């Protein structure tokens, strides 16, 4: 958070500061040294990092501007306390700031020496460019369609008899393609998830809200994995029902589901092995968990439950409760999923972890005054270490909480929790196949958006830190699962209304990516660092340069998805 200015950029107008950093000059006007403490405002119960400032010294340091900072002074030799030297300030990127510590135990307000550059202007410009491009394409398509319709009508010179004769002599054939039979709303939903995943995995322009939350909280980046898992669940219902209707045995279907899960795990290990190769780490430290591994595990559980409990035909045995048919028909599945969630909750809050308080789900590190330094992730991390050992995510620092013990956000316990996300997608798919009227489907999806959102809010107390179970992607907490599922229901309802129901939009360009999501996800990892997907940035990276490269990578994969879509090349696992 606070680092001494080794590069000298704070003392030269010709040198640029790194992304999300600023310069902070602290003038100690006392005749004895003082200690400066700093911590991010989001760091709960943190004491802060100390930096000593000599007597009558003007110390210039580089500070992080990602989150607001809490700064205070401590001086054991002073007769007056430094109670007033405690400030919270939101520093801006590339700004120069000053702060004076007086002899009487007081401090000035933090003041600006040099006005910072607005880091969000490049993002705003990019949004405008993409919006104008989309508007031009949409308008051009409308004009072309109108012109085609006008030309077609003007060339109709044959009378009804001629048309009848032509129809009888050469009957029209209905052309069916792979892409025309797809559900565009679901492809658009899945395409949004995978393209957003590519963008944030490449850095998201190094903006904080396009990166995962350091611990509790929710960012845009935290939505993409749950949305992808939710969409996988949506497809399970229709797939199982179709296979059962054509008399494919459940055993054969289960083997097919195992095959898909194994392929997903293999692709995930392939991605992890590439990471090992690029960072020159030995095979003995190959990470076994991962995003695709989590998806494979949660998909397999939900697909097995659906296959074992589903029936090929609908039943109408509930009479006055027929409006709850989608739930009552599959009550056994609900019981299985509830048992899984109860099992996950019991492990999280009741399992004893050596050296850690029972039920601890915090980040460790500086949290709680550093008392639980090695308790990061609680029971989930403890079990992952027992099972995977060195074969797990090895990150040992947290942006806010400093040095932490290794914890894998896609570990085994988190994969169990993710099962509920996939099952929420199963519930959405069951609504789709059970009710045939669009209004009935949309009403139920919106109802689930409200129900899951309220449940998540109650668990987290509608706050970031004060709830019983905070929203936390790193722990795949129950409130996080319900919150992201709620947003998934909402987004899909909107897409279905606009694309399928009103037909105001065909879902492009997202439907192209949604038709080949696994290919794009694996491909963007395997091409990491290769031109023309990526390149090295000359000089010190800025939000503008990083954002341009990340958007280019995402756009290029969209073009690749478009070509594959038009050629009807759909690669499914």
8-state DSSP, 13: T
Active-site choice (72, 184, 212, 524): 212
- The residues with which 238 forms a beta bridge, in sequence order, are none
8-state DSSP, 501: I
Contacts of 73 (CB under 8 A, 6+ apart): 34, 35, 36, 37, 82, 85, 86, 101, 107
Q: What is the DSSP string of 313-372?
A: S-----GGGGGGHHHHTTHHHHHHHHHHHHHHHHHHHHS--TTS-TT--S--TTGGGGTT
The count of C-alpha atoms lying within 13 angstroms of the C-alpha of 447, restricted to the half-sphere facing its C-beta, is 11
- Residue among 555, 556, 546, 534 nearest 122 (CA): 546
Please give the backbone phi and psi of residue 68, each rounded to the nearest 5 degrees, phi first: -60, 145
Taking CA atoms, 561 is separated from 137, 514, 538, in Å, by 17, 8, 30
| Residue listed under structure tokens 């080794």 | 6
> Would you call 212 a catalytic residue per the annotation?
yes
Across the beta sheet with 69-74, the strand order is 49-53, 34-40, 69-74, 86-89
Taking CA atoms, 309 is separated from 240, 241, 244, 312, 535, in Å, by 10, 11, 12, 10, 50
Q: Is 85 exposed, middle or buried (0-12, 13-18, 19+ CB in 10 A)?
A: buried
SS3 505: coil
Please give the backbone phi and psi of residue 250, each rounded to the nearest 5 degrees, phi first: -65, -35
Could you give the CA distance from residue 127 to residue 132 in angstroms, rounded to a whole number? 9
- Residue among 55, 63, 49, 53 nearest 10 (CA): 63
**CA 515 to the chain's CA centroid:** 20
Could you give the CA distance from residue 399 to residue 545 in angstroms, rounded to a whole number? 22
Tokens of 363: 């980040």
**CA 250 to the chain's CA centroid:** 34
CA R_g for the chain:
28
Could you give the CA distance from residue 35 to residue 180 in angstroms, rounded to a whole number? 68
- Torsional sign, CA 226, 341, 42, 75: negative
CB 112 within 8 A of CB 90: no
Question: Catalytic positions, please?
Answer: 212
């Amino acid at each position: 958070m606070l680092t001494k200015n080794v590069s000298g950029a704070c003392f030269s107008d010709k040198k640029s500061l790194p992304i999300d950093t600023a310069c902070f000059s602290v003038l100690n006007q006392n005749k004895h040294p003082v200690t400066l403490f700093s911590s991010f405002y989001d760091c709960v119960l943190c004491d802060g990092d100390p930096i000593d400032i000599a007597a009558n010294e003007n110390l210039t340091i580089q500070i992080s501007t990602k989150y607001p900072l809490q700064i205070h002074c401590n001086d054991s030799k002073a007769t007056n306390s430094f109670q007033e030297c405690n400030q919270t300030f939101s520093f801006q990127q590339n700004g120069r700031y000053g702060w004076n510590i007086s002899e009487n135990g007081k401090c000035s307000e933090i003041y600006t020496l040099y006005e910072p550059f607005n880091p969000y202007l490049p993002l705003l410009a990019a949004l405008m460019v993409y919006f104008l491009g989309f508007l031009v394409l949409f308008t051009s398509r409308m004009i072309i369609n109108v012109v085609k319709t006008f030309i077609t009508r003007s060339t109709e010179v044959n009378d009804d008899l001629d048309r009848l004769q032509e129809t009888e002599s050469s009957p029209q054939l209905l052309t069916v393609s792979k892409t025309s039979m797809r559900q565009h709303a679901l492809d658009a939903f899945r395409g949004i998830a995978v393209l957003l995943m590519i963008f944030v995995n490449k850095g998201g322009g190094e903006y904080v809200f396009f990166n995962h939350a350091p611990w509790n909280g929710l960012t845009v980046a935290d939505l993409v994995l749950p949305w992808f898992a939710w969409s996988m669940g949506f497809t399970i219902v229709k797939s199982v029902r179709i296979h059962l209707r054509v008399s494919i045995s459940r055993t054969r279907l289960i083997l097919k589901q195992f095959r898909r899960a194994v392929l997903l795990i293999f692709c995930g290990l392939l991605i992890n092995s590439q990471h090992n190769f690029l960072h020159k780490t030995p095979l003995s430290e190959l990470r076994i968990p991962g995003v695709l591994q989590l998806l494979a595990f949660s998909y397999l559980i939900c697909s097995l439950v659906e296959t074992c409990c589903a029936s090929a035909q609908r039943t109408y045995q509930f009479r006055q409760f027929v409006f709850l048919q989608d739930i009552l028909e599959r009550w056994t599945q609900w019981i299985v999923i509830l048992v899984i969630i109860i099992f996950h909750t019991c492990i999280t809050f009741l399992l004893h972890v050596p050296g850690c308080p029972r039920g601890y789900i915090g980040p460790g590190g500086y949290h709680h005054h550093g008392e639980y330094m090695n308790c990061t992730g609680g029971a989930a991390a403890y079990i992952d270490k027992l099972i995977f050992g060195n074969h797990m995510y090895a990150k040992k620092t947290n942006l806010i909480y400093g040095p932490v013990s290794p914890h894998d956000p896609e570990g085994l316990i988190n994969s169990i929790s993710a099962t509920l996300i996939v099952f929420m997608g199963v519930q959405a798919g069951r609504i789709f196949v059970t009710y045939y009227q669009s209004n009935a489907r949309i009403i139920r999806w919106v109802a689930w958006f409200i129900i899951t959102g309220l449940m998540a809010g109650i668990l987290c107390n509608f706050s970031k830190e004060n709830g019983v179970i905070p929203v936390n992607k790193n722990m795949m907490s129950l409130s996080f699962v319900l919150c992201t599922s709620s947003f998934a229901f909402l987004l899909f309802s909107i897409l279905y209304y606009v694309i399928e129901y009103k037909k105001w939009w065909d879902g492009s360009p997202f439907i192209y990516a949604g038709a080949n999501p696994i290919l794009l996800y694996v491909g963007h990892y395997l091409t990491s660092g290769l031109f023309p997907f990526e390149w090295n940035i000359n000089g010190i990276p800025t939000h503008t340069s990083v954002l341009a490269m990340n958007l280019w990578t995402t756009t290029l994969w969209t073009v690749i998805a478009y070509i594959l879509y038009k050629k009807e090349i759909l690669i499914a696992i």
